[in-house]
Amino acid sequence: MHRYGVGNRQACRCVLLHRSMYYYRSRMDPLFALRQRVRELAHARVRFGYRRIYMLLQREGWDVRKSRFYRVYCEEDLGLRRKRPWRHVSAVHRTQRAPAGSANEVWGMDFVHDELADGRKIRTLTVIDLFTRECLAIEVGLSLRAEHVVAAMERLKYSRGLPQRIASDNGSEFAGGQMDLWAYTHHVKMDFSRRGKPTDNAIVESFNGKFREECLNAHWFESIEDAKQKIDAWRWDYNENRPHRSLEGLTPREYAMKVSS
């Protein structure tokens, strides 16, 4: 109509469109409030997919069907692109270790590296309860060695108790004499991953990925004190507010309270 300067009757006849369709206006609820809240959650939680954002909406009391929410999510173009393909079904799987059956039965720990705004390297030691998925501690330092790992375990001993088993890789900080002496003294079994097999400690590796995407990659750290403050705030938010799919949509702290009651 704009290009050729004709009326709607002639234009509809030309493109074989019934005039009732031309005049039709949708009566569907535009869901402005829902769209705005979904956008806010997606921008605040930049690595959350639609399932976890839907859990957050349910926790806030939104009464919306999953199909309607997913339509809004797609229309707002909020979908995340999966960067890595799922593992092939034909892949050979190793024999799984006995999973943790209760809180404080098995902990997992690992190091994650990052840097400050001035280029100095920092290391973070993450400690996870493999049953409740709680992040028990994240130690931050310019150089973390075996004595720092032992000190972190001593602090957790008084605030949390001790596990039966600790899963980790074969790094010198975990497999060295200081950690071995501490584990022997406290009757804790060290369960080391096979060399070159990070999937042996898959839960910790998964947590480290979330930690990097949602915290380390989202912040600039001006100093080591600034890094400690921001990382501790993220750890609190992870335990208290972040729903976990493997925990039936509960946060790690809620799940820990549920299984302990």
103: left (phi over 0), alpha (psi -120 to 50) or beta: beta
Residues 224 and 142: beta-carbon distance below 8 Å: yes
Residues 166 and 188: beta-carbon distance below 8 Å: yes
Q: What percent of the chain has pLDDT over 70?
A: 93
Neighbours of 114 (CB within 10 A): 18
Prediction pTM value? 0.77
CA atoms within 13 A on the CB side of 54: 17
Q: Which of 156, 159, 47 is nearest to 108 (CA)?
A: 156
Q: Can you list the pairs that 176-180 forms with residues at least 24 positions away whose Cβ atoms lie under 8 Å?
A: 176/146, 177/146, 178/146, 178/147, 178/149, 178/150, 179/146, 179/149, 179/150
d(CA 21, CA 175): 72
| pLDDT at residue 91 greater than cutoff 60 | no
Q: Which residue has the tokens 């926790």?
A: 59
Q: Which of 175, 220, 216, 219 is nearest to 193 (CA)?
A: 175
Classify 49 as helix, strand or coil. coil
Domain boundaries, the chain: 1-27, 31-80, 106-260
d(CA 11, CA 84): 47
Please state which CATH number belongs to domain 106-260. Answer: 3.30.420.10
Q: Which of 198, 219, 210, 199 is nearest to 244 (CA)?
A: 210
Mean pLDDT along residues 146-163: 94
Mean pLDDT along residues 47-72: 90
Q: How many residues does the chain have?
A: 261
Amino acid at 144: L
Convert the pLDDT of each residue in 23-46 to its tens digit: 888 777 778 899 999 999 888 887
Q: What is the pLDDT of residue 80?
A: 72
Q: What is the pLDDT of residue 261?
A: 76
Neighbours of 11 (CB within 10 A): 16
Mean pLDDT along residues 141-169: 93
